[in-house]
Amino acid sequence: MSLAAQKRSLWAETWRRFRKNKLAVVGMCIIIALFVIAITTIVIDLVTDKAFYNDHVIKQNLRLRLQGPSKDHIFGLDEFGRDIFLRMLWAVRYSLFMGVFAILFSVIIGSIFGAIAGYYGKVTDNVIMRFMDILLAIPSMLLATAIVAALGTSLVNVLIAIAISYVPTFARTVRASVLTVKDQEYIEAAKALGASDFRIIFKYILPNSMAPLIVQATLGVAGAILSIAGLSFLGLGIQPPTPEWGSMLSSARSYIRDGWHLTVIPGLGIMITILALNVMGDGLRDALDPRLKN
């Protein structure tokens, strides 16, 4: 039997276990639904050349401002008379894609650092991991805020800020799993066959780190979305009038007396997304490593 077939069966096995966890499956469905919403709104923007976005998502209608939920506007209208339901939908892309991209970025950087540190050991390991220790010694939200404060508030800077603050987590995860496999015989065999370090790391070592990495990344996306919302709430993230959950909450703060829906709804959006990612991450962890489950 080939190695590939065995590998597939591991994932099939994981999926079989994951499916049994109803909560985790619900979480996954919510995340898939959010992706569908995000992509649909992007397609709508592309097809209508942002006409729909301009007319319905950011166009102000002060006559109807702060109106509560009704049949026409199920989530009500905000302080500028914009439909909150539509703004919620258009905001999905920022939270979701920025969270995913930021974590993807830190997974890549973190894995490279972690793999090099674990594989080469000694001085290399010490230098890289002590640097990671230093980054970890700054609370992630504080680090992200400092970076945005220095570089200025733009989508890219927020992304960089969040990504950097998560690099050490992934470097540690990958390093730990590299250390567990690097002395195995198949690595020795690969070396004996003359495989380069690069090939050994990417072909034989990193695939073995996938399980903990996937779990960490899922939970990391949840953390990243919270940080993005937090930065936007402080006015350091995505700027109005662009709809984003954190900045919607930030502007709702001034109208907290005038309409509860302004405050409640964007927060619910954030919470449901994070909740879905958390239960999915927990489910993945249990499915990938059943021994951990108590």
Q: Provide the binding-site residues for another protein, judged by CB under 8 A.
A: 130-131, 133-142, 145-152, 168-169, 172, 222, 226, 229-230, 233-236, 246, 249, 252-253, 256-257, 260, 263-264, 266-267, 270-271, 274-275, 278-279, 294
Q: Between residues 86 and 129, which has the closer beta carbon with respect to another protein?
A: 129
Distance between CA atoms of 245 and 257, rounded to whole angstroms?
A: 19
CB of 257 to another protein, least distance (A): 6
Q: Give least dist CB 64 to another protein, A.
A: 22
Whole-number CA gyration radius for the chain: 22
Taking the complex as a whole, the smallest distance from the CB of residue 213 to another protein amounts, in Å, to 14
Closer to another protein by Cβ: residue 39 or 179:
179
Closest distance between another protein and the C-beta of residue 123, in Å?
15
**DSSP conformation letters of 34-93:** HHHHHHHHHHHHHHTTTHHIIIIIS---GGGTT----SSSTT-B-TTS-BHHHHHHHHHH
CA distance 273 to 39: 16
Shortest Å distance, C-beta 294 to another protein? 5
Looking at the Cβ atoms of 36 and 264, the one nearer to another protein is: 264
What 3-state class would DSSP assign to 22? helix
The smaller minimum CB distance to another protein, of residues 51 and 142, is found at 142
| Nearer to another protein among residue 14 and residue 216 (C-beta) | 216
CA torsion, ordered 219, 157, 141, 24, to nearest 10 deg: -10
**Mind giving me the DSSP string for 84-135?**
HHHHHHHHHHHHHHHHHHHHHHHHHHHHHHHHHHHHH-HHHHHHHHHHHHHH
